[in-house]
């Protein structure tokens, strides 16, 4: 895999797939191997996806400085990647927890963005935790996987051994998808081997109230268009957190998708891909 050198000399691996305008894509987790993004439901048919392996995941070695696992510092890796690609501005897509990294990047380098796509984000940065994720989970109680997932969710709160955590995550995995068919099961089965507990634990470090509020203030000055995609069957982040995130930007819009969970490109690629493509084809704001 090719690599680029970041601000502190770290070598970070990335892969590219597809043809067309470049789209930098950030994996969530936090600290999950970016392999789970795949080709984002064949989004690479019209875009060159540039997918970095975050520090301590995939082919990128662990960080020498544990502080560089913080999402605000990971945003500077994105800036180093932009410079490596030789692009004045980039389009950026981020999934799940990586939406925090993308927002930190927008706050610090908003003039370097043409478009920003945030897929099923939480709203921790906004200081709000909508209750609809729990409601969505409860509404799915008739599904066959639900009783085991309910017990596993309770056990996960007390689990400390990482192997135990990984086993429990697989039991609750169905709540992250719009349905629990073969493609969803195969996608979920890979998660246990794609997580690194060390960078995962360091992701939110340093996010005190002053940092959070300062970041939100800077988002109000971001001029590029922002699309936030959520799913109405996402029992992980819920649907309305995306609305809260979109409202943080002056040009943000919220697009909920029907029958979709936390991974829209797995559940409904033929629904997710056109929405993303149409947005990315729009002219960016000046």
**Residue ranges covered by each domain of the chain:** 3-137+202-281
178 band by pLDDT with thresholds 50, 70 and 90: very high
Q: Is the peptide bond before 30 cis (omega within 30 degrees of 0)?
A: yes
The predicted structure's pLDDT at residue 286: 42
- Those residues with Cβ within 8 angstroms of residue 60's Cβ, 6 or more apart along the chain or in another chain: 10, 11, 12, 13, 52, 53, 54
Is 43 within 8 Å of 49 (Cβ atoms)? yes
Answer whether residue 285 shows pLDDT above 60. Answer: no
Q: What is the pLDDT of residues 197-252, one digit of tens each?
A: 999 999 999 999 999 999 999 999 999 999 999 999 999 999 999 999 999 999 99
Mean of the per-residue pLDDT values of the chain: 96
284 band by pLDDT with thresholds 50, 70 and 90: low
The predicted structure's pLDDT at residue 125: 96
- Those residues with Cβ within 8 angstroms of residue 110's Cβ, 6 or more apart along the chain or in another chain: 218, 219, 221, 222, 223, 224
Global pTM reads 0.97
Q: Which fold has domain 3-137+202-281?
A: Rossmann fold (3.40.50)
* Comparison of pLDDT for 233 and 285, the residue scoring more: 233
- Mean pLDDT on 6-21: 97
Q: What is the pLDDT of residues 127-174, one digit of tens each?
A: 988 889 999 999 999 999 999 999 999 999 999 888 998 899 999 999
């Amino acid at each position: 895999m090719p690599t680029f050198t970041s601000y502190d000399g770290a070598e970070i691996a990335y892969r590219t797939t597809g043809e067309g305008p470049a789209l930098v894509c950030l994996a969530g987790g936090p600290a999950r191997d970016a392999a789970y993004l795949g080709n984002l439901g064949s989004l690479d048919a019209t875009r060159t996806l540039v997918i970095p392996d975050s520090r301590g995941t995939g082919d990128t070695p662990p960080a020498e400085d544990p502080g560089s696992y913080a999402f605000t510092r990971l945003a500077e890796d994105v800036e180093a990647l932009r410079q490596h690609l030789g692009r004045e501005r980039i389009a950026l897509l981020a999934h799940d927890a990586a939406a925090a990294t993308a927002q930190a990047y927008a706050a610090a380098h908003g003039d370097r963005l043409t478009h920003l796509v945030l897929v099923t984000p939480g709203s921790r940065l906004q200081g709000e935790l909508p209750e609809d994720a729990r409601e969505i989970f409860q509404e799915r109680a008739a599904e066959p996987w639900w009783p085991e997932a309910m017990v596993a969710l309770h056990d996960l709160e007390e689990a400390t051994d990482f192997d135990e955590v990984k086993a429990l995550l697989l039991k609750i995995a169905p709540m992250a998808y719009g349905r629990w068919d073969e493609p969803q099961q195969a996608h979920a089965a890979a998660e246990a081997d794609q997580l690194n507990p060390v960078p995962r634990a360091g992701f939110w470090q340093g996010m005190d109230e002053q940092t959070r509020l300062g970041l939100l203030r800077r988002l109000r000055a971001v001029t590029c268009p922002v699309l936030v995609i959520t799913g109405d069957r996402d029992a992980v982040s819920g649907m309305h957190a995306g609305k809260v995130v979109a409202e943080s930007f002056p040009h943000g819009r919220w697009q909920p998708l029907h029958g979709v969970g936390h991974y829209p490109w797995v559940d409904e690629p033929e629904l997710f891909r056109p929405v993303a493509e149409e947005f990315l084809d729009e002219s960016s704001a000046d």
